[in-house]
Amino acid sequence: MARQSLALLASLAVAVLSLLRAASAESWLYEQFATDGDVRVDYDASGEQVASLILDQHSGAGFISKQKYLFGEFSVQMKLIPGNSAGTVTSFYLTSGEGDEHDEIDMEFMGNSSGAPVVLNTNVWANGDGKKEHQFYLWFDPTADFHTYTVIWNDKNIIFQVDNVTVRAFKRYDDLPYPDAKPMEVHATVWDGSYWATRKGEVKIDWSGAPFAVLYRRYSADACVSRDGRSSCPAGSNKWMNRQLDDTDRVTVAWAGRNCLQYNYCDDGWRFPQGFPGECSRN
């Protein structure tokens, strides 16, 4: 009888733990985001809560924040699609919407053929003015493990970081468009970008490898929440509201430019036959 009681207690403990984990998992994703498509919440081998976005021939997937923000520090860990991911696009970005005058800050990962480098595309849109891409080959395999991707956005600059290494900063100039007035939502997506993602659309998705899954965990937003035309900032927000490049950042940006940067819009004369955007001559 004692053994049966112990076995019953053990079973109950496992059941309770499973329920607690499920509730905890929901608090990471469903309390902060609305979802679209095939989105799953589970645990990896280390016990971390993980959201999986699934892409198949019928649909992509994504999640979008329930809050809107005007400035902040946004971070997530991602593990990208392994193997042949050519034609896929995975993203972590902020946007004010899809109108002609929208603002947006992008971190997009363009799929590759097996063995080829993964490209991180960073971009900034202000009042509908985009075409400001810096594209980097990542210096590690982003499909083998989780890595941290961060956007720091304030009224002075936008800083892009990979594993806390600053790879790019987009500086504000008073006479040029800059995203500083429109609140933005946080998005994460995976979708079919066959028409442009891999070698400018030359390599399409091989659907024999579907479904494709990209994993997200440890999302955080230390940011000013915008609601009803007002913005409420958390305590301690000065640490990112006043954040600009320091000496270490300048060293890592220069390193990324020498070793990882494979496209810079400010070098693309074919794209800008009438002259480069104003910030190109000032950076």
Residue 228 in this model has a pLDDT that exceeds 80: yes
Listed range (1-5, 238-242, 248-252) with the worst mean pLDDT: 1-5
pLDDT digits (tens, 9 = 90+) for 127-157: 999 999 999 999 999 999 999 999 999 999 9
pLDDT, tens only, 158-206: 999 999 999 999 999 999 999 999 999 999 999 999 998 888 888 999 9
85 — pLDDT class (breaks 50, 70, 90): very high
36-281: CATH topology is Jelly Rolls (2.60.120)
- 20: pLDDT strictly greater than 80: no
pLDDT at 1: 53
Mean residue pLDDT across the chain: 90
Query: Could you give the CA distance from residue 219 to residue 104 in angstroms, rounded to a whole number?
Result: 19
**Residue from 108, 133, 185, 279 carrying the catalytic annotation:** 108
Does the pLDDT at position 274 exceed 70? yes
104 noted as active-site residue: yes
Q: Helix/strand/coil (H, E, C) string of the chain?
A: CHHHHHHHHHHHHHHHHHHHHHHHHHHHHCCCEEEEECEEEEECCCCCEEEEEEECCCCCEEEEECCEEEEEEEEEEEECCCCCCCCEEEEEEEECCCCCCCCEEEEEEECCCCCCCCEEEEEEEECCECCCCEEEECCCCCCCCCEEEEEEECCCEEEEEECCEEEEEEECCCCCCCCCCCCEEEEEEEEECCCCCCHHHCCCCCHHHCCEEEEEEEEEEEEEEEECCEEECCCCCHHHHCCCCCHHHHHHHHHHHHHCEEEEHHHCCCCCCCCCCHHHHCC
Name the residue ranges covered by the structural domains of the chain.
1-31, 36-281
Confidence class of residue 28 from pLDDT cuts 50, 70 and 90?
Answer: confident
Distance CA 95, CA 74 (A): 13
This model's pTM is above 0.75: yes
Structure tokens at 110: 């363009």
User: Which of 104, 133, 185, 202 is flagged as catalytic?
Assistant: 104
Q: How confident is the model at residue 19 (pLDDT cuts 50, 70, 90)?
A: very low
**Range 260-281 average pLDDT:** 96
Cα–Cα distance measured from residue 133 to residue 12, given in angstroms and rounded to the nearest whole number: 54
pLDDT at residue 16, rounded to an integer = 37
Annotated active-site residue 73? The verdict is no
